[in-house]
Structure 1
Amino acid sequence: MKKVGLFFGTFDPIHNGHLTLANHFASESDLDSVWFVITPQNPFKLNFKMLPNENRLELVQLAIKGSTKLDVSTVEFDLPTPNYTYDTLTHLENKYPEIQFALLMGEDNMVTFQKWKQYQSILDRFELYVYPRKTQYSIPVEFKKHPKIKWTEAPLVEITSTDIRNRIQQGKEIKSNLPLEVWNCILKKGFYSN
């Protein structure tokens, strides 16, 4: 059975840190591939302005062009909102019964994972591949040795999409943090400029 890691995020914009993590899991773990699952605008955070879904999709497609182990999913664009990870996983599991899905998530998400919708059911049905974050977090004891949670030695990524957006608005150099085609598209279309 094919095993796919799901990397959820707004990817606003996708950057080299995202790609470093995805490529690490696609080549250094038992995953066959990684799908970037682009999350739509959160209806409860409408004051946070992000690029429209189709623009973020375009940037992810440019970033992974030519890769045989990375793909993109727009599954959440068509699901009812507000949407929860559990609902997306259930939908994907039903749509692709021949694929075993796993979640890729930052260590910071484990702090609040108990508050996720149906978190126990997620743990019963899916493996979690947890990558480290720069800040140390107080992780609930039940997760530290859980058999479905894999604490990985993935590279530590320090850049964030927020940093990149802020640097673009301030006119600072960020080209080295983005795939060239992503940077060219952002520049050409004026994304994130004031």
Structure 2
Amino acid sequence: MRRIGVFGGTFDPPHVGHLILASEAADQLGLERVLWVLTPDPPHKRGLPITPLLIRLELVKAAIEGDPLFELSRVEIDRPGPHYAVDTLLILHDLYPEDALIYLIGGDSLRDLPTWHQPLRFLEACDGLGVMRRPGDAVDLSHLEATLPGLRRKVMFVDAPLLEISSSQIRQRVAGGKAYRYYLPPRVYELVERYRLYRAIEP
């Protein structure tokens, strides 16, 4: 049985923090593959501006190219929304019936897990939760266990640098004309420049 990581997100844009965390999760949790699941229309970001899907798809491909450990998954791209993590996991179990699926999330997402769509069903569907701590995530496992029984035995913390890098921060830096080049993989930086992404609206 292989252990496969499931790393979902809008990746707008994918940055070096994503790559470091995915790599550390794979190393520490013994993952043989990490599926990057690009979410076309995240339910929690409806109404917010988001880069078109085809451009984000190109950005993710550019970020992970050349690393055989990483693979782009179209499990959410090729089906209509809304896209919930529980449905994604159930579909992936059908695609990889012999493998263990380890869902990778940040500590902030773990804290908010009770607010997810069908969180108990999601917890049943995943074989493990790889939790990548983020600055200020304030995770209280005892409190969460009371709401989601069985959570504690599935959580595996990933000991990685607490990188204070986020996609929203990078978008703000670009819009504000601040330096951002080295927050991104080189090919992703080139695409952001080529498409003039995240710029403030020009008069």
User: TM-score of the superposition, structure 2-length normalised?
Assistant: 0.88
1:1-194 paired onto structure 2 within 5 Å: 1-42=1-42, 45-126=45-126, 127-141=128-142, 142=145, 146-194=152-200
CA contact (8 A) 1:17 1:159 kept: yes
The worse-fitting range, judged by mean Cα deviation, of 184-193 and 114-123 is: 114-123
1:155 CA displacement:
2.2
Q: Which amino acid aligns with 2:29?
A: S
User: TM-score of the superposition, structure 1-length normalised?
Assistant: 0.91
- How far apart, CA to CA, are the structure 1 residues paired with 2:139 and 2:84? 24
Structure 1 unaligned spans of 5+: none
SS of alignment partner, residue 137 of structure 1: coil
Structure 2 CA distance for partners of 1:162 and 1:139, relative to 1, 3 Å: same
Identity of aligned residues (%): 37
- How far apart, CA to CA, are the structure 2 residues paired with 1:39 and 1:188? 23
Q: Tell me how large the CA RMSD over aligned residues is.
A: 1.9
CA contact (8 A) 1:134 1:156 kept: yes
CA contact (8 A) 2:10 2:42 kept: no
1:98 CA displacement:
2.9
Aligned residues: 194
The worse-fitting range, judged by mean Cα deviation, of 133-142 and 9-18 is: 133-142
- How far apart, CA to CA, are the structure 1 residues paired with 2:151 and 2:41? 34
SS of alignment partner, residue 67 of structure 1: coil
Q: Which amino acid aligns with 2:167?
A: S
